[in-house]
Amino acid sequence: MNKRTNVESIYHDGTYLAENPDWDRKDAPWKAVQVAILSDNKIVPSTVCEVSCGSGDVLVHLFKTLPSAKMTGYDISPQAAQFWEQHNEAGVRVEFQSGNFHEINLVKYDVLLMLDVFEHVRDPLSFLENSIRHSTHFVFHIPLDLSASSIFRGYPLINVHKKVGHLHYYTKDLALSTLLDAGYEVLDWRYTGASLNSPNRSLKTRLAALPRRIAYAVNKDFGVRLLGGETLLVLAKPLS
């Protein structure tokens, strides 16, 4: 059996781009809308940074609703820069940086976005602990890969590991507990309805919509634990 010696290498050697050639750009407008959790909590940032910004499309769409905020994106993948060049050519005022955020960032932001991030890193607790000094507020988008269905079938977990590089899998309660353990206070959280309304859904996800709607209507937490299909949006700040 072949072994990957460095789990982060897929973001450097082009493997991730080969598996995800559009870098999930279709989901970017939808993800940007989810960041409305800030306005719902009366937070109007002057500076916003996204860690692991990928193509940068989320920041570009977010800039349309927060035009006075300074937007900055970081990503460790050199392949992501090809998308940034497209944004720069279009005159979008977003600053992009290539490299390890924790090593090169010197700024404290009003809001730090981590949208589908810490499930990818080798040591999520250390990653989250190192991030906490870099911002006043944090927005997390966390895939909830663990469910009775995904464990029973097996393949969904292997697929997200192979295709998009998930190293850790979460339920809602595990995700919230991880943030607490890393020193964050959860201010607000919500399910996003990803399997029912995100734009980049697979055919299998669309076919599973009806049983999920039924299970969610009976009891949302139970339905998500049983059939999956959700992601979690969390607004947090450092614990006092």
Under a CB-based contact definition with an 8 Å cutoff, are residues 187 and 41 in contact? Answer: yes
Look at residue 92 in the predicted model and tell me its pLDDT: 74
- Average pLDDT for residues 187-212, to the nearest whole number? 85
Q: What is the pLDDT of residues 87-136, one digit of tens each?
A: 876 667 899 999 999 999 999 999 999 999 999 999 999 999 999 999 99
Closest CA to 185 of 132, 239, 240, 141: 239
More confident residue, 114 or 203: 114
CATH of 7-201+230-238, one of 3.40.50.150, 3.40.630.40, 3.40.50.300, 3.30.1240.10: 3.40.50.150
Look at residue 209 in the predicted model and tell me its pLDDT: 86
Name the residue ranges covered by the structural domains of the chain.
7-201+230-238
User: Which helix (DSSP H) or strand (DSSP E) does residue 114 occupy?
Assistant: strand 109-115
Find the angle CA(86)-CA(65)-CA(32) to the nearest 5 degrees: 65
Q: What is the pLDDT of residues 55-97, one digit of tens each?
A: 999 999 999 889 999 999 999 999 999 999 888 766 678 999 9
Model pTM score? 0.93
Look at residue 125 in the predicted model and tell me its pLDDT: 97
Under a CB-based contact definition with an 8 Å cutoff, are residues 110 and 135 in contact? Answer: yes
How is residue 173 written in tokens? 């309660």
How is residue 58 written in tokens? 């989320």
Give how far the C-alpha of residue 176 lies from the chain's centroid of Cα atoms, to the nearest Å.
14
Give residues with Cβ within 8 angstroms of 48, minimum separation 6.
59, 62, 66, 69, 70, 71, 72, 109, 110, 111, 112, 113
DSSP conformation class of 144: -
Distance CA 33, CA 2 (A): 40
Mean model confidence pLDDT for the chain: 92
